[in-house]
Structure 1
């Protein structure tokens, strides 16, 4: 019997600093999130971050928390319920960090008699710290607790025409009655070393050399697992789908952590520069690395980003919602599932 497990990032149980601390501890101690030796990761996370950041993060979560709970969890549950209505296969929901966890999701399907699982990481683009960590943990759990179960994971879908259609239409619909001069596509950032580590050719990813085509736009097998390429391609695909002027669209990366170089340009600096240097008065922001609205979209972009833009001289700031439980997106997911 076949079944489906949708997997999203996760969320603290509440906005209590203790719950936020537990969530951050699980998240940041993942070796694919902070990919340094265990002793150093433990020192950074347990010795520094968990002693300073939980209260700050808890305050941020309080700004965006809904009556029903974490926006990311609530939206993921809505998506799961809508998808379930369009397929006869059992559809379970899990989070990589926090609850409901991956083990409970697999257990739910196992208890229903499922022996073949379609694992759907809810990330359009592949990254070590997102898709890969879900796939690896799911396989570890399968071997230990569900040895007779077969798991087939859905690869990054950034380039799937049906996904691009759903994403593009959701953006178009939201901006239909909005006035804007420029659109910024902001993706979650990752350290540059993650891109090099994910290069399966071990030779394609390299610094840009003047006069040569950037490696992200040069054909390569490496693109199958290159987060940066997939982000840039997502932007390009949406521009083409909507017939936009590419000169009125930019791409940036948000949420960097630590002192190591992360993917650039950085979103916070780009937002300010658009107002101060480029004279953009009306800015719209899209966040296509996220399927569900969460802290990074609702607080970091819609609140902090807006404040930074207006302070820098901007006048209007529009944050386009993620595709969440958009009906076209539900149909896309259901279509993939029904072909499984």
Structure 2
């Protein structure tokens, strides 16, 4: 029997500092998130970050927390329910970090008689710190606890025409009736070394402004290329004029070089240059979360207004949008019929 496991990032159980500290500890100790030797990761995370950051992070979570719980969890559960209504197979939801574990997700499906799972990482682009860490952990859990379970994963879908159409239509809908001078595509940042580590050719990714535009096998696992490609394809679909849109990266941590340009500095620059009405979309996420609701919608707007900007429009993620649900259901049914997944 077939089943579906949707997997997103995760969330603390509550916005209290104790729960946030526990969540941050699991998240930041992941070797694919902070990819330094264990001794250095322990020193950085347990010696510094977990003694300084939880209180501030908890305050940020409290700003965006809903009555029903964590926005990311609530939205993901809504998505799961809608997808379940569109397919005949059991659908479960899990998180890479936190109490909604991948093991629990697999167990829920196995208890319903499932022996063949389509694992769907809810990330359009591939990255070490998102898709890869989900797939690695899922395989470890499968081997240890569900050795008879057959698991197939949905590949990155950042450039698939139907996904680009759904994303573009969502952006168009939320900008309807609004005037904007600039549309900023803001993606979650990663350290530059992650890009080089993911380079299967070991030579292509130089982050020099040209490698992402030069065809290569490296692009299959290059987060930077895939982000810029989403921007290019959506801009093309929306007929955006050159100079009216750009790409940036948010949420950097530490002092190592991360992907640039940085979102906060880009918002600041646009305000200083006289942009009065800007819109921002976050296509590295399919569900609104702390990084979109607080870092962008609140902090980003504050920066823009401080720089003289007027209208700051935050475009929601796809969340449980019906067109997005329908597309997921279509991909699931393709897999169930043993056809090529993501044919379009």
Same fold (TM over 0.5): yes
**Inter-partner Cα distance in structure 2 for 1:317 and 1:78:** 27
Partner in structure 1 of residue 338 of structure 2: none
- Correspondences of 1:150-299 after superposition (within 5 Å): 150-208=150-208, 214-276=210-272, 278-299=273-294
Residue 339 of structure 1 and its aligned partner are, at CA, apart by 1.1
- Correspondences of 1:94-105 after superposition (within 5 Å): 94-105=94-105
Q: How many aligned positions are there?
A: 335
Partner in structure 1 of residue 24 of structure 2: 24
Cα displacement string for residues 72-120 of structure 1 (whole angstroms, at most 9, x for unaligned residues):
0000000000000000011100000012110000000111111111000
**Inter-partner Cα distance in structure 2 for 1:250 and 1:290:** 17
- Is residue 47 of structure 2 the alignment partner of residue 52 of structure 1? no
Residue 207 of structure 1 and its aligned partner are, at CA, apart by 4.4
Q: Could you say what the CA RMSD is over the residues aligned between the two structures, in angstroms?
A: 0.7
**Inter-partner Cα distance in structure 1 for 2:325 and 2:206:** 38
Cα displacement string for residues 39-66 of structure 1 (whole angstroms, at most 9, x for unaligned residues):
1101100000000000000000000000
DSSP 3-state at the match of 1:325: coil
Partner in structure 1 of residue 329 of structure 2: 334
Runs of at least 5 residues in structure 2 that lack an aligned partner in the other structure? 336-344
Cα displacement string for residues 223-253 of structure 1 (whole angstroms, at most 9, x for unaligned residues):
0000000000000110111111132000000
DSSP 3-state at the match of 1:339: helix
DSSP 3-state at the match of 1:7: strand
Partner in structure 2 of residue 311 of structure 1: 306
Q: After the TM superposition, which segments of 4 or more aligned residues of structure 1 sit over 3 Å from their partners?
A: none
Partner in structure 2 of residue 7 of structure 1: 7
DSSP 3-state at the match of 2:30: coil
DSSP 3-state at the match of 2:66: coil
Partner in structure 1 of residue 342 of structure 2: none
Runs of at least 5 residues in structure 1 that lack an aligned partner in the other structure? none
**Inter-partner Cα distance in structure 1 for 2:167 and 2:161:** 10
DSSP 3-state at the match of 2:318: coil
**Inter-partner Cα distance in structure 2 for 1:331 and 1:99:** 28
**Inter-partner Cα distance in structure 2 for 1:248 and 1:299:** 25
Partner in structure 1 of residue 134 of structure 2: 134
**Inter-partner Cα distance in structure 1 for 2:199 and 2:92:** 32
Residue 178 of structure 1 and its aligned partner are, at CA, apart by 1.4
DSSP 3-state at the match of 1:42: helix
Cα displacement string for residues 262-297 of structure 1 (whole angstroms, at most 9, x for unaligned residues):
000000000000010x21011100000000000000
Partner in structure 2 of residue 143 of structure 1: 143
Partner in structure 1 of residue 65 of structure 2: 65
DSSP 3-state at the match of 1:148: coil
